[in-house]
Amino acid sequence: MSSFMTLGSTLPLLHVIGESTRRKRSSAPLPPGPPKRPLVGNLMLMGQDKGWEVFEKWSKELASDVISLTGLGQTVIILNSYSSAKSILERNNVSDRPQLLSMSELVGWKQSLIFHPFDDGWKLQRRYIHRGIGTRSALKQYDQLKEVVAAKFAKAIMEREDALDEHCHVFAGDLMLRISYGYDSKGYDPMIKMAEEVTDGASEFGAPGKWMVDVLPFLRYVPDWVPFTGWKRAVREHHSNLQKLVNTPYDWMRGEMDEGRAAPSFASKLLSEKDMTPEAASTVWATYAFLKMMCFHPEIQSRAQNEIDRVVGNDRLPLVSDMDTLPYVWACVLEALRWHIVLPLAVPHMSMEDNVCEGFMIPKGSVVLPNLWAISRDENEYPDAHTFNPERYLGDKPQRSPQDWVFGFGRRVCPGRLMAEESVFIVCATALATLHISRKMIDGVAVPIDLTQSAGLASHPTHFEYNLKPRSEQAKSLVFNAVMAS
């Protein structure tokens, strides 16, 4: 009871202090936002499911690309267009990360590159990552590995077609573990499962405004027996999962190094200089979304396969080096990246200084969110944006490539974006070359495909029914021989 009394007495004070501070800062107004409630403002609207769709709706209703939510002394700025996101987030003083108590401190994500504060430690980590996988020349050493893992993906589907989502997880996890630690996974093994659990947990805890403890930190001290504290058990579970994912492959690799049999890997090279656990971006849902859209649009799948047959032929599998000679396949990958946004609200930035942009105040300490989903559906950037159309990136006047924004902005742009692009390309090209995906039929009627996506910091495409078969016996032989040769 005393905790709730404290909460009741604290809310008015926080509201008054926050409003007073904002008035002193500048005469420039905050961006517009939805109606506010007494004491708590409108910040509580932040935690709703699929907020990216709601924020886009508010942006249109308020006739402003930049909108804001405020409450309890905190300001959240939401950027709903490419121009506003680039204008604000390209500034170095908006490169920090908000340290959500649940995510950073209690779970333990603070030291990871993606959530690390903008300081010397972050700059050092990023320098190591850039040196290892941040350039095309650095990535070339992994081309054959990516091609083999893509062939393993196609082989796994041929052997068990009814588990596409699992195969996507295994592909992304296998690639990450092979490159990072030299660990060759055996299908859906414990380390792959660990990575999946941690990714799901990060999605659950990484959304600003979802957890009250991030707004009222004293709630961390409320005893577990108090009602509505189930979140504390979830925090402990995710913390444990994160530590296992960090330590298990690291300890395995250390053992391999001690025995003199460690395979070449990104982490083993770094360990001679500094102990550090690198992180890699997941390509799980980009791959799944690509195949889903190929299933939904058989005419696009057929055209992409014809390009592969013409350029690559049928006596070998696609290579990473084929990317430049398969423009339509690459356009399909780009459109899949635009169509399904894995991080619809990206990873939050935080303003390190007061900023005035487009006549609006962005106060110091504000959480700043680029609404990537709104950018992806912006008719000014992508006419007929709700249509899957790879041709929008081809011709004399191509539309803006999702590469400009889907991996983030400014100093916080994903350092592994080139790895992600090449990985998604090679697995999708290999799948197109060797597999045919089609809609599942029941009594002669195609099963409908739901094109919506899930809620959460990391969003995934909804499940769909499909048929997946090898394109030919020759394609099957190419895949099996590539895996055997590795």
Show the domains of the chain with their CATH numbers: 43-485 (1.10.630.10)
Q: What is the pLDDT of residue 14?
A: 38
DSSP-based three-state secondary structure for 393: helix
Phi, psi values for residue 49, rounded to 5°: -65, 140
Question: How many CB atoms are closer than 10 A to CB 75?
Answer: 25
Percent of the chain with pLDDT over 90: 49
Question: Which tokens go with 447?
Answer: 């099963």
Contacts of 40 (CB under 8 A, 6+ apart): 11, 15, 71, 72
Tens digits of residue pLDDT in 367-394: 999 999 999 999 999 999 999 999 999 9
Residue at token pair 């709706």: 57
b/e sequence 345-356, b meaning 16+ C-beta within 10 Å: bbbbbbbbeebe
Q: What is the pLDDT of residue 205?
A: 63
Tens digits of residue pLDDT in 140-164: 999 999 999 999 999 999 999 999 9
Contacts of 273 (CB under 8 A, 6+ apart): none
Q: In the structure, what pLDDT confidence band is assigned to residue 103 with cuts at 50, 70 and 90?
A: low
Query: Do residues 431 and 372 make contact, with C-beta atoms less than 8 angstroms apart?
Result: no
Which residues participate in the annotated binding site?
A: 414
Tens digits of residue pLDDT in 318-349: 999 999 999 999 999 999 999 999 889 998 99
| Cα atoms in the Cβ-side hemisphere of radius 13 Å centred on 90 | 9
Query: Do residues 342 and 458 make contact, with C-beta atoms less than 8 angstroms apart?
Result: yes
Kind of pairing between the strands at 445-446 and 441-442? antiparallel
Which residues participate in the annotated binding site for heme?
A: 414
Residue at token pair 């944006």: 385
**Residue ranges of the alpha helices (H) in 26-90?**
51-61, 82-89
Segment 109-123 shows an average pLDDT of 74
Q: What is the pLDDT of residue 2?
A: 38
